[in-house]
Amino acid sequence: MTWTQIGWTVIGLSAVLLIVFSILFKGKRQYKVRKFTSPGVFQKQRVAAIERGQARHLVLGDQFWSRSYPALGLHALATLPSLATSEDLLDGEQLLSAGAGELVLFARQIVEGHYQGGFSTHLPVFLPGPTPFSFLAGFIPETGLHPPGSVGMFGNFGLTAALLSEAVELRGGHVFAAAGSITAQAALFMKTQDLLIGEEVFLLPGGFEPTAVNQAGWVTEDIIRLALMILLVIAAGLKMAGVI
């Protein structure tokens, strides 16, 4: 069997598992192996901010696309359906910040059902700056004008993520970070309690809304990972024995 055939086999197996588990999880079954506490804490902090009349910030990253992490902008947008519902937008304190016009454009399209004519009075959007440092310089004063009760950081960040987090915490706000770049994760690791790192970042939409499809993806990922680990061990043993 060639490597191409192995690759297609893995893809085919993944597709079959996704379909099967999507059907199984449409009932009351749940995949309890994957359990995230940080998204639940973030949601509670958002509710507490509403009760206190404070702003809730969603920060979608300081850039849409980068050569090292090309999909992080899309991943940040994937969190919006669970966080920018009609209930979240009613009080006008749901704020959205991004460092690129593309992020703002796609964000408005995602919440299209909540505004008319291409403009939403319930979704204040800020473009603090087009570069990481100008974004930082523009975002920090914004926390003074609209003291945040809760801030969610998603998407593409660099070392400036730690300074953004510190600015929010100095204002008494709660920070939840799911920044995908390794640099941002390393900068936030020592000072941010509610932080997702590694592959946890890409499981986040399911952490907010564990639908049947999301849970099926978790199970499929775990099965494929375990199968690949077993195959690697078997292949190493056969190689040592001189069989292959």
What is the reported pLDDT for 114? Answer: 47
One-letter identity of residue 234: I
What is the reported pLDDT for 196? Answer: 86
Does this model's pTM top 0.85? My answer is no
**Would you say the C-alpha torsion 163, 168, 171, 172 has a positive or negative sign?**
negative
What is the reported pLDDT for 179? Answer: 79
What is the reported pLDDT for 175? Answer: 92
Beta strands 194-195 and 55-59: pairing type? unpaired
Query: Long-range contacts for 43-49 (Cβ within 8 Å, ≥24 apart)?
Result: 43/208, 45/149, 45/150, 45/174, 45/176, 46/83, 46/88, 46/149, 46/150, 48/149, 48/150, 49/93, 49/148, 49/149, 49/150, 49/174
The tokens describing 74, both together, are 């899309």
pLDDT means per 10 residues in the chain (244 residues)? 79 88 78 74 88 88 81 82 76 82 77 53 76 89 85 88 89 87 87 83 75 81 87 86 76
What is the reported pLDDT for 206? Answer: 73
Confirm or reject CATH 1.20.120 for domain 34-208, answering yes or no: no
What is the reported pLDDT for 122? Answer: 60
Give the list of residues 6+ apart from residue 86 with CB closer than 8 angstroms, or none. 113, 114
What is the reported pLDDT for 120? Answer: 52
